[in-house]
Structure 1
């Protein structure tokens, strides 16, 4: 029979390995990179990363609305004020800048959009 002390040690080791595997899975999986033209309503709820040019940009009640374009199409990107507050630089974006967006595919009024978690300006050298 196994002692209580050994059982505790084995349980602790398995728990630590489990947490490490979960962390590694999250780090490796991350959002899927995708082009705008490949997004469909079947993708609703998926986390994605996409890049494109800011075709239009507006702020309404602190919420940011961007029309993002790439060679395959355009899509609306929305970043709500509560998210944008943590990324002050998003309030300084301009049209024709290249950005990368991490967010979730959503359908609003029967139109596809991205609810942004993070927007990053791509530095072109």
Structure 2
């Protein structure tokens, strides 16, 4: 084969591959878990969680620490002021949240990265 044919085949394969990635990216969703299923292997992954708000703490820097509870355990949800959360959260409210799993002081927690990733009810 000559170089022009190899180049054309490579280019066509690249274009088809990129189109496939773009088309299929809309179908990639975070894994839906319970609190008990969240472990160190999930760190830096986005997960979806259904839970109830057990308590809300607001720090001096306006960061919110929300203690979430489901049938399997508790975990903290951290909402930084830069997230610009407009939704009013109250104790005992049921929420669905998509957050990134992180570890802080040896404890696993969720970080809310975008305000649209929290739904009430």
Report the TM-score when normalising by structure 2: 0.78
- 5+ residue gaps, structure 2, are none
What is the TM-score when the length of structure 1 is the normalising length? 0.76
1:52 alignment counterpart: 51
Moved more, 17-26 or 39-48: 17-26
**CA offsets per residue over residues 71-111 of structure 1, 9 Å max, x none?**
011100102111x21x311xx10001111111111110001
Three-state SS of the structure 2 residue aligned to 1:117 is coil
Structural RMSD (CA): 2.6
Count of aligned pairs: 117
Structure 2: distance between partners of 1:64 and 1:58:
6
Counterpart residue number, 1:109: 105
Where in structure 1 are there 5+ consecutive unaligned residues? none
Partner Cα separation in structure 1 for residue 15 and residue 31 of structure 2: 28
Paired residues of 1:100 and 1:120 also in contact (CA < 8 A):
yes
Residues in 2 aligned to 1:20 and 1:99: alpha-carbon distance in whole angstroms: 35
Which runs of at least 4 in structure 1 moved beyond 4 Å after TM superposition?
13-16
